[in-house]
Amino acid sequence: MSKIVRINLDLLLIQKGMTLTELSKRVGITHANLSKLKNGKAKAIRFTTLIAICQALDCEPGDLISLID
């Protein structure tokens, strides 16, 4: 059975009371690219981007990314 990577960005943004636009400004990544990530359309994520998002949201990579069946 294959697994799917889920990006939990919506949930984290709600928990932190932050908008995608605000995260974009804090991280220095375009709103469009963050939107692709949030909607599961991104094919990859750089470690530097992952670290920046986690720092801005005060979370761990495992909070942002999970595997589902």
- What are the structural domains, with CATH classification, of the chain? 4-68 (1.10.260.40)
Whole-number pLDDT of residue 9: 96
Contact 9, 34 (CB under 8 A): yes
Whole-number pLDDT of residue 1: 73
pLDDT per position as a tens digit, 13-67: 999 999 999 999 999 999 999 999 999 899 999 999 999 999 999 999 999 999 9
Whole-number pLDDT of residue 60: 97
The owner of tokens 């992952």 is: 50
Angle between helices 31-38 and 20-27 (to 10 degrees): 120
* HEC string for the chain: CCCEEEECHHHHHHHHCCCHHHHHHHHCCCHHHHHHHHCCCCCCCCHHHHHHHHHHHCCCHHHHEEEEC
6: β partners? 66
